[in-house]
């Protein structure tokens, strides 16, 4: 297992690289050019700049998260071919600096969705929270109106410029069925995977978060059966997964450890985090410790160890602890603690393996 750590870039993240390199076992950063709009080409000089920054601290930049997909590709519009060509050029440039994995998602309109970014927990820490009933009661068009009238409102993964297009997007997606979205995803993969393979970059789709419909929009990467279908769309090792235990774990019916074993050779990137999910569909993010949530992190780590996982992994989200002021879900302290918990489990499994040999 190769441990990496999410970093949002100089000037876009309060966590300096010299802090990240002090976390035991961390080899690299998971990065992106967050100011580049979805669909645009990534400039080579900007990509090289990130590599130079990471090189100063002996950190690799092997994993990119995300090269965002333009909505026209998801919608299947004629203009999608232009954006797909831009995506191919970005892949070619990322290969020039040694990138090995691109994590991306195919979620319509919104990236991960939460109702509270700083929900207070019993121990006084705060964490990302999803209130199911609140989302169900929201009229998407009323949400658009509210966002347009309140400049302080934001949605995860959405810049103010993109928020202005919400009304049009919701109208466009009214005509898009789940099968349409599957077809549009297949079209994208058939264009992209050969280019990724040529440049030795593995594509790793992230599950939908949460793994069920939000605002009536279709969702695809939500369970074992749908992942099986996804991998068959283009049955190639370069078409793989970012297996996120937190995203998938928000549905109590998902057995993430079983998925690790089932899709072992197609997992290129592991997001390991815990959530506590309630019967009413609410969930809150917790510490990585297995007993603190409803995701069996211990069994998931055992599954990764059993399959001999040598891919990239990160602790994904964490709580906000010790008064830390940080990007929601991305504090330094709890993610650092999470890494040490994961290493502790991994080292124990390694010890047991040696003793049994």
Q: Which residues belong to the active site?
A: 206, 244, 271, 316-317, 330
Chain-centroid distance, C-alpha 265: 19
Q: How far apart are CA 265 and CA 189, in angstroms?
A: 18
Which two structure tokens, joined as six digits, stand for 353?
């393996």
Q: Distance from CA of residue 6 to its chain's centroid?
A: 10
Cβ within 8 Å of residue 292, ≥6 positions away: 274, 276, 286
240 φ, ψ (degrees, to nearest 5) = -135, -160
The helix/strand/coil state of 287 is coil
Location of structure tokens 């059993």: 306
Per DSSP, the residues of 304-320 read HHHTT--SEEE-----B
292-to-131, 257, 288, 296, 329 alpha-carbon distances in Å: 19, 17, 7, 10, 16
Q: In angstroms, how far is CA 64 from the centroid of its own chain?
A: 10
Q: Are strands 116-120 and 126-130 parallel, antiparallel or unpaired?
A: antiparallel
Please say whether the beta carbons of 185 and 106 come within 8 A.
yes
Residue 75: both structure tokens together: 């919608």
Dist CA 45 CA 58 (whole Å) = 20
Q: Which helix (H) or strand (E) element contains residue 242?
A: strand 239-244
The alpha carbon of 245 is separated from its chain's Cα centroid by a whole number of angstroms, namely: 10
**Eight-class DSSP state of 10:** T
Burial of 173 (0-12, 13-18, 19+ CB in 10 A): buried
């Amino acid at each position: 297992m190769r441990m990496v750590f999410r970093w949002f870039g100089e000037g876009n993240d309060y966590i300096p690289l010299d802090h990240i390199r002090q976390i035991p076992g961390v080899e690299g950063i998971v990065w992106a050019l967050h100011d580049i709009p979805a669909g645009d080409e990534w400039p080579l000089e900007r990509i090289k700049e990130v590599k130079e920054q990471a090189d100063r601290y002996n950190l690799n930049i092997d994993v990119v998260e995300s090269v965002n997909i333009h909505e026209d590709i998801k919608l299947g519009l004629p203009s999608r071919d232009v954006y797909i060509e831009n995506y191919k050029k970005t892949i070619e440039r990322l290969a020039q600096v040694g990138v090995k994995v691109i994590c991306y998602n195919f979620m319509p309109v919104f990236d991960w969705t939460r109702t509270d970014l700083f929900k207070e927990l019993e121990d006084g820490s705060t964490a990302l929270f999803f209130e199911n009933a609140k989302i169900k009661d929201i009229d998407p068009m009323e949400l658009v109106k509210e966002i347009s009238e309140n400049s302080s409102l934001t949605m995860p993964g959405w810049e103010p410029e993109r928020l202005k297009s919400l009304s049009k997007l919701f109208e466009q997606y009214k005509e898009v069925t789940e099968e349409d979205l599957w077809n549009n995803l297949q079209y994208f993969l058939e264009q992209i995977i050969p280019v990724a393979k040529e440049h030795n970059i593995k594509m790793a789709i992230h599950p939908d978060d949460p793994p069920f419909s939000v605002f009536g929009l279709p969702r695809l990467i939500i369970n074992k059966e749908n992942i099986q279908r996804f991998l068959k769309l283009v049955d190639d090792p370069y078409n793989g997964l970012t297996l996120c235990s937190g995203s998938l774990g928000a549905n109590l019916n998902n057995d993430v450890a079983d998925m690790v074993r089932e899709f072992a050779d197609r997992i290129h990137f592991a997001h390991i985090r815990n959530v506590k999910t309630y019967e009413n569909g609410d969930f809150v993010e917790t510490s990585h410790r297995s007993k603190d949530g409803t995701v069996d992190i211990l069994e998931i780590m055992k599954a990764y160890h059993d399959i001999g996982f040598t891919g990239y992994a990160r602790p994904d989200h964490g709580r906000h602890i010790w008064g830390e002021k940080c990007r929601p879900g991305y504090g330094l302290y709890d993610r650092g603690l999470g890494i040490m918990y994961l290493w502790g489990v991994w080292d124990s499994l390694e010890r047991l393996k040696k003793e049994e040999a």
